[in-house]
Chain A
Amino acid sequence: MKKTMEKCLKSLGQKIICRDNLIKCLFSLIGFSDEEMVQSIFVYGHTASGKSLVIESLLAYLKYNVCIINCVECYSSKLIYEHILNDLSMHEMNSKNNFTVYQKCDNMMDFITYLQIAVQNDKRRIVIVFDKCDRLRDMDVNLLPALVRLRELTGLDLCTIFVSDIVWEKYYSKNGLLNPIKIHFPQYTREDMLKVLFLYKPKDYEDGFYVNYLNLFLSVFLRCCRDCNELRYMAKINFDKYVEPVESGKIDKNDVRSLWRNISGILKSNLEVVYLRVSTDDSEQRTKLCQEIESTTKLALSFELPFYAKYMLIAAYLASYNPAKDDKRLFVKRSSKKKRRNTVTKKPAKLNTQLGPKAFTLDRMLAIFYAILDEKVGLTANLLAQIPTMCQLRLLSIVGDNNLDGPKYKCCVSYDFIVIISKTVGFNVRNYLYDFI
């Protein structure tokens, strides 16, 4: 092993742990000044497995001419080109140049030329990192294949690194693609995770105390979440609760058992709000909110819809989940209930309500609306205006291109939801659902 590499490892090791092998591997591909860099590298692994951290620290250490691009942010190839040129030419946008880019550029040919000009006087090696590079697939077809062999095309001392959470196989396209060197960032094991989280220990606590806490914490959380960012956040907010009794003197800080009893409930309830960063300090409130998000009942009751809108929604639901040919039988008032029972003999194996909504025409929905509504209301503009409103609220959705002659809709709410809505207006949907009669 060469000296330069060792030095690098030592320097990065202060910040990054458990990734020595990967750092070595990357270093050997681009780090030795007497060896040529590889043309392109593909780095993949789960979210928050330290990809960005490792690559960015390494490049900062190597002091290359670096450009790091977030492909979500640069949503078109033009933005990518301009961003790269900006970064590599050390161009700064400011009021003097009226915040313009270094060079406007919107195709690969120009880009290569401009790139060559931009770095003419800069002897440093160039590395371009494409983070979230899966987005590149949706841009110009030639973009990804060309970027993979950018060194070849520009003749510069350059390496492109692609970073993604998905495997390279998903990038294959019809036009063919040069395979870069692949590096996988494996998920952290429990021990690794503990070490990583330990790195972010709050200052004024003893090591042992915090390790104890992390052990308890991971025993609950690691089962459902391996995202390092999320765990860091959760560890932080739960730790405040953990130390509370210690601070107030209620529990001795070595009494792990009591501490566990105290925290386990909180941990478990917070487990439900992973990824949900609600800024209330009150964990009770947080769980309440969480339940609200989960429960359809709460959701439906929190909906304040005008009276006719509710009926309209019910009509839409019925239209979506009943076969059209049975409308007459279901909604024409005269047919008695008894007769209904008799006629139904065979049922399809799968229930309509489980198959998802079917599209219906506006006329059909209005007809059902008038059939289930006891009052007589005119077909007024106010009534019709409810339909686009409900589309906007995502209760209905328009199917297909907006055909003016016969628009079609689907109802997007669930059975439980509609049951609750119809209860508020005193209507029993089950009586009108094909599946239940």
Chain B
Amino acid sequence: MDNVSVSKGVFAFQGSYRIGRGKKRPGKAPLFNESWYKAYKEVWSTIEKSTQKINSDIFARISEDLKSYVSSINYDDLSGEIPTAILLTGVNLPDHGALFQMLARKFQDITSHIAIMQQRDSYSLKNMMEETVFQLINNSRNNRTEIQKNHCTSSMLNAWYQEYGSNTPLLIIIPDFESFSAEILQNFILILSVYSKTIKFVLIFGVATAVHAAHRSLPHHVTSKLRVQVFQAPSQVKSLSGVLDGTVLSTETPFKLTGRAFQLLTDIFLFYDFSVNGFLQGYKMCMFQHFYGKNINSLCCNGDNIGSRISALRSEDLDEIKKLKSIAEYVRKLPVTKRDSLNDEEFKELLSTLINQVHTFTRTFQITLKCLHHLTSDLPNAPLGKQLREVYAKAVSCAITESQEYKECLQYLGFISKEELLTKLDAMKNIIEISTEEKLLADVKLDLEKYREVIRNASPEVTKENTEVVDPGEKLNRAQLKEKLLKLSKKHSISPYKQAQTDVINYLDQKVFSIYLKNPALLPGSEIFFFNDGNAVKHHIVGSPRAAIHTGLNNPQAYLDCSCCTVTSQQPIVETMPDLSLIYKLHLEGRRLINMYDWLQSFLAIVCPDQSGEERREVDPELQARFTRAVAELQFLGFIKSSRKKTDHVMRLTWGCS
């Protein structure tokens, strides 16, 4: 063997490939020019803008409060305590990052020395201290020093502050107080308090649960080092309402979420995570689903340039539109002569009127809905729901004016006092006035004013004087007399106010709600604007890992799209399936502990069924290797683990899948 060289050379070979040359700059993907994409982009940007505005509105107060707190701290008043703001943020953890980033931005004009501490940077006191000092020193704009992180200590901070601090406060933000180790925090606070005489610190703790949490994790001698002020961020449900008002329920956005899809998103919010950010992402997903690849939905825009969009449609698109359920219905109902002569041009014309109709309708719908909500939200038990979103969900899924709850509301309205009714009417008028679409509902407004006037002047007393008295001289038979008396008594018992109240309720019911609150889904062309396919988005936004793995393993065809592994209920196991899938199915039949040997035998019986029946002691090493690998993969997926109780057994870790 001595003439065999063990060294192997690697020789450079100059090929034609050059790093970086292969990659061509991706030209603008054709996607960007599609009309549906442009429409999507436009709609999303309006939504994004409005949510940004809403967010800053919602948090405007709290950030103003915090700012004025920070800038008004008088350090001479404090006897060595550190001013601390505890901000009760609520449990919607996913949104906190954004909140605190925004706060930090707002504080920039008070101090440029801000440290936002994350839990990952604070697994030990040393880390936390170094990270804080590092951020405080380096976050400043006029950063003149260059200091390594591992040189950062509290005494260094002190020295630095005396030189550069120029008496501005140093702001330390801890966004999620609960996730920090209590012991580290205690020591951290004690260290800060050592320097509280020379350095102006301000602490902001974001507490998700309650002030209690802060006091539970800090002992007395530490809390007495803090001067605490508590702030309350707006509640999650409130901020959801705000976001809904600005997106789904606003007249600005043409894209509307209805039915199941709307229900799904609000449910996820209320039942799972309270995350406004999550809601918006889900909303975006719905929009993807609505717009993606569908040119006809490019018509989903605000009225102005609808004409050009319609003329840009190709005739395939027009055919597509004609197939929409509501439009097909509409066309079918047209007089035959008109229907036959409907060429593309005419159809475009028709489409334009239909779409304008949808536009007008949705706007009046939104405003009227707000009116209805205002009218009914404070009735006893609020049959239609306390929140606008509840009324909305109902109104877009069925004819709300025919619902039992609606009728109940009208009944209740018959009992409210004059003052209440007047304020409600005023509020409704106001809603119509402040909406940008005032002229659409101008006559409603006028009518409301008239009714208001009548009600204001109507006395709640029953008028005493009777114009018509039963004349004893008059000859009446029994039935006539009875009728007359009944009529009189009816007339008497109704006061002018009562009459006016009934009138206005009838008016609202018949002339306003019944007209403007029809189910918008029935309008021809509504499919272009309304999206209700909850199931389509559910796959994308509600991940269910276990179910997905189960489907994948139970029925590999679902993902592989192969033609061979068709499973039926009679034959759930097919030998062409991947080994992992076979092993998985066999393991479902097992109990908590699975005997490896038996398992192998069943596996062999499937993969080479020819010599079935007898037990195989001699196993083909290749088959055994396949088996072993599949078992290892199953373990990796977390379905089994080795058991210490019995060496040749493995333990199942899941339940209820079989």
Contacts and interface: CB of A to CB of B under 8 A. Distances in A.
Contacts of A389: 91, 93, 273
Given A72-B190, A98-B146, A305-B91, A378 B547 contact: yes
Most B Cβ at <10 Å: residue of A76, A277, A367, A405: A277
Contacts of A349: none
Contacts of B237: 304
Interface in B254-301: 268-274
B228 A277 contact: yes
Interface string A390-402: 0011100000000
A436 to B, nearest CB: 26
A293 B211 contact: yes
B355 interface: no
Nearest to A276: B223
Contacts of A379: 544, 546-547
A93 interface: yes
B341 interface: no
Contact of A304 (B156, B178, B274): B274
B71 to A, nearest CB: 15
A374 B147 CA distance: 59
Interface stretch (B212-220, B441-449, B464-472, B560-568): B212-220
Given A279-B229, A292-B212, A73 B191 contact: yes
A385 interface: yes
B489 interface: no
B211 A289 contact: yes
Contact of A279 (B213, B228, B542): B228
Given A92-B159, A276-B215, A306-B270, A299 B210 contact: yes
Interface string B151-179: 10111100110011000000000001011
A244 B229 CA distance: 24
B329 to A, nearest CB: 35
A248 interface: no
Contact of B229 (A76, A227, A278): A278
A303 B210 contact: yes
A279 B84 CA distance: 9
Contacts of B125: 75
A302 interface: yes
Interface string A57-84: 0000000000000101101100100010
A383 B271 CA distance: 9
B178 A75 contact: no
Contacts of B227: 277-279
B163 A378 contact: no
A363 B638 CA distance: 13
A382 B272 contact: yes
B632 interface: no
Contacts of B163: 94-95
Contacts of B576: none
Nearest to B217: A394
Interface residues of B, number: 67
A430 B655 CA distance: 27
Contacts of A47: 221
B226 interface: yes
B156 A378 contact: no
B542 A386 contact: no
A385 B273 contact: yes
Contacts of B220: 274-275
B224 A93 contact: no
Given A229-B224, A292-B212, A380 B543 contact: yes
B638 A404 contact: yes
Contacts of B90: 304
Given A386-B273, A405-B653, A73 B544 contact: no
Given A72-B191, A389-B91, A306 B547 contact: no
A270 interface: no
A287 B264 CA distance: 43
A405 B223 CA distance: 40
Query: Which bracket fits the contact residues of A?
Result: 35 or more
Nearest to A364: B655
A280 interface: yes
B480 interface: no
A104 B223 CA distance: 34
Nearest to B156: A99
B209 interface: yes
A205 interface: no
A304 B235 contact: yes
Contacts of A79: 153
Contacts of B270: 306-307
B81 interface: yes
A83 B544 CA distance: 55
A274 B223 CA distance: 10
A93 B156 contact: yes
Contacts of A406: 641, 653
A381 B543 contact: yes
A327 interface: no
A40 B221 CA distance: 28
A323 B179 CA distance: 29
A72 B653 contact: no
A100 interface: yes
A32 interface: no
Interface in A75-133: 75-76, 79, 83, 86, 92-95, 98-100
Contact of A76 (B126, B160, B209): B126
B337 to A, nearest CB: 54
B274 A380 contact: no
Given A380-B543, A381-B544, A386 B194 contact: no
A209 interface: no
Contacts of B546: 379
Nearest to A132: B190
Contact of A393 (B164, B178, B229): B178
A278 B86 CA distance: 10
B551 to A, nearest CB: 12
A172 interface: no
Nearest to B213: A394
B141 interface: no
Contacts of A298: 210
A360 B270 CA distance: 27
Contacts of A70: 191, 194
B542 A382 contact: yes
Contact of A381 (B155, B230, B542): B542
Contacts of B236: 304
A83 B273 CA distance: 48
Contacts of A308: 271-272
Contacts of B641: 405-406
A367 B270 CA distance: 22
Query: For A83, A274, A292, A381, which residue has the most chain B Cβ atoms within 10 angstroms?
Result: A381
A52 to B, nearest CB: 11
A88 to B, nearest CB: 14
A402 to B, nearest CB: 14
B79 interface: yes
B187 interface: yes
B204 to A, nearest CB: 14
A230 interface: yes
B478 interface: no
Given A274-B220, A309-B91, A383-B272, 17 more contacts: A47-B221, A72-B194, A73-B194, A95-B164, A229-B224, A236-B79, A277-B224, A280-B229, A302-B88, A302-B209, A304-B237, A306-B270, A306-B274, A307-B272, A385-B272, A405-B653, A406-B641
Interface of A: 47, 70, 72-73, 75-76, 79, 83, 86, 92-95, 98-100, 227, 229-230, 232-233, 236, 274-280, 289, 292-293, 298-299, 302-309, 363, 367, 378-386, 389, 392-394, 404-406
21 contacts: A70-B194, A75-B129, A86-B155, A94-B159, A94-B163, A99-B156, A236-B79, A275-B220, A275-B221, A292-B211, A293-B212, A293-B215, A304-B91, A305-B91, A306-B274, A307-B271, A308-B271, A380-B544, A382-B273, A389-B91, A392-B93
3 closest A-B pairs by CB:
A381-B543, A93-B159, A275-B220
